[in-house]
Amino acid sequence: MAMQQISQADQAKIQMMQDMEIEMMSDLYNRMTNACHKKCIAPKYGEAELGKGEMVCIDRCVAKYLDIHEKIGKKLTAMSMQDEDLMKKMSS
């Protein structure tokens, strides 16, 4: 019976982490969309379709946004690991 409770607790933890990941990805997408739209598309639309310049601008903007997001994620992970190592050393 105790094994089932641990399993349910682990499932709840996994579900919470999945929900947070979805929320973070949704936030990233919304921020990226807003930032690249502001940067690349004029407030008054001249045509229904994107122009070549707008498409190139959006492609570059998205690529840069995702690149920076990845670099920040790696840096935060490294910092978190350093903090964990420091805490382990302090508690030893």
Give the pLDDT of residue 58: 97
Q: How do the domains of the chain map onto residue ranges? A: 2-91
- Is residue 2's pLDDT more than 60? no
- Structure confidence by residue, pLDDT tens digits, 39-83: 999 988 888 899 999 999 999 999 999 999 999 989 989 988 888
| This prediction's pTM | 0.68
| R_g (Cα) of the chain, nearest Å | 21
Give the pLDDT of residue 1: 45
Asked whether the CA dihedral 45, 50, 53, 55 is positive or negative, the reply is positive
**Is 2-91 in CATH node 1.10.287.810?**
yes
